[in-house]
Structure 1
Amino acid sequence: MELLSRLCSSKPSASVSVSNPVVKNAGNNLARKRLQKELANITKDPPSHCSGGLVGNDIFKWKGAIMGPADTPFEGGIFFLSVCIPRDYPFHPPKVRFLTKVYHPNIDANGNIHVDILKEQWSPCLLVEKVLLSICSLLPDPNAKGSVNSIAHLYNNDRKLYNKKARAWTQKYAMG
């Protein structure tokens, strides 16, 4: 945890190398301890509009759920996500994808989520809970620059039709 604290409290430097074998081996134990703490926190004090927990007994496989935000086309929907956490977490981001189909510019046909915090903007300071909350806030507020499909064109040029289609998908795939 000391290494993680140093990384989160200072600017990245060339002297910190996550490819060091000692760091990799320590990372597995670090990841387990950190994830156990995160799981305890998310269970004890769940964030509003989302939740997460283990799939079976594997600390590295979680299932998330996001409630569609009010006053959006996603309202009333419950969207499930797969969260696969690497053994070198928190130095690399979890792989998160929607299991529920979603009509959204930043979510591809396979449910993969295309946002910077799950790629180049990942920080070891982020928590699984914060990732779920970020995805929850992404639903009503897509990032057009990070779009991966033609849905972004509709979102930018015909919001009424986009909302209608997103609502129809929510009703079909996330509401029962």
Structure 2
Amino acid sequence: MTEQSALLLRKQLAELNKNPVEGFSAGLIDDEDIYKWEVVIIGPQDTLFEGGFFKAYLTFPYDYPLRPPKMKLITEIWHPNVAKNGDVCISILHEPGEDRFGYEKPEERWLPIHTVETIMISVISMLADPNSDSPANVDAAKEWREDPNGEFKRKVARCVRKSQEMAFD
């Protein structure tokens, strides 16, 4: 299986290099390891995250695409769907099949047809439109629901500024 997953990941990387998708860039952390990617998400326009550069690592399992990669933001971000340790929590990255908590339909979860591109597009849309129903960061979700233009907005603005400073280190 490793051979197939490595080939598929190489193909997806080549495709992204040839036809970059707006809103993010992707590459390998180490050229020797096709299973560990570094992505930079550009904060989507007309959102609180606009202007930010958020670096994340994607770690693919050896049986990709049967199972989803894990995604961890390295740049600090204040968002209901990103845990305080940086773990990104969205349906598309959840293991395939039934959700034992009954929140998600199987088709909302990981499917082998997903690619790095579809993952990144989901993450970008998650930035634009947080889901506070099943938050990974309860405090951020509470602020987003109760006062999106107050404390939440201030914390996000601070993360955006920090991300811009770090982007050019």
TM tier relative to shorter chain? 0.7 to 0.9
Once structures 1 and 2 are overlaid, which stretch shifts more, 95-104 or 141-150?
141-150
- Structure 1 unaligned residues grouped into runs of 5+: 1-26
The count of aligned residue pairs is: 149
Contact 1:115 1:146 (C-alpha < 8 Å) held by counterparts? no
Give the aligned partner of residue 124 of structure 2: 136
Contact 1:64 1:82 (C-alpha < 8 Å) held by counterparts? yes
Quote how far apart the aligned CAs of 1:90 are. 0.3
From 155, 159, 164, the counterpart of 1:169: 159
Give the aligned partner of residue 75 of structure 2: 100
- Bigger Rg, which one: 1
* Overall identity of the aligned pairs, in %: 35
SS in 1 for 2:149: helix
What CA RMSD, in Å, does the superposition of the two structures yield over aligned residues? 1.0
Give the aligned partner of residue 16 of structure 1: none
Query: TM-score, structure 2 length as denominator?
Result: 0.85
Give the aligned partner of residue 62 of structure 2: 87
Residues 49-128 of structure 1: pairs in structure 2 closer than 5 A: 49-57=23-31, 58-120=33-95, 121-128=109-116
- Structure 2 unaligned residues grouped into runs of 5+: 96-108
Runs ≥4 residues deviating over 3 A: none
Question: In structure 2, how many angstroms separate the alpha carbons of the residues matched to 1:131 and 1:118?
Answer: 8
SS in 2 for 1:165: helix
Contact 1:31 1:90 (C-alpha < 8 Å) held by counterparts? yes
Contact 1:54 1:62 (C-alpha < 8 Å) held by counterparts? yes
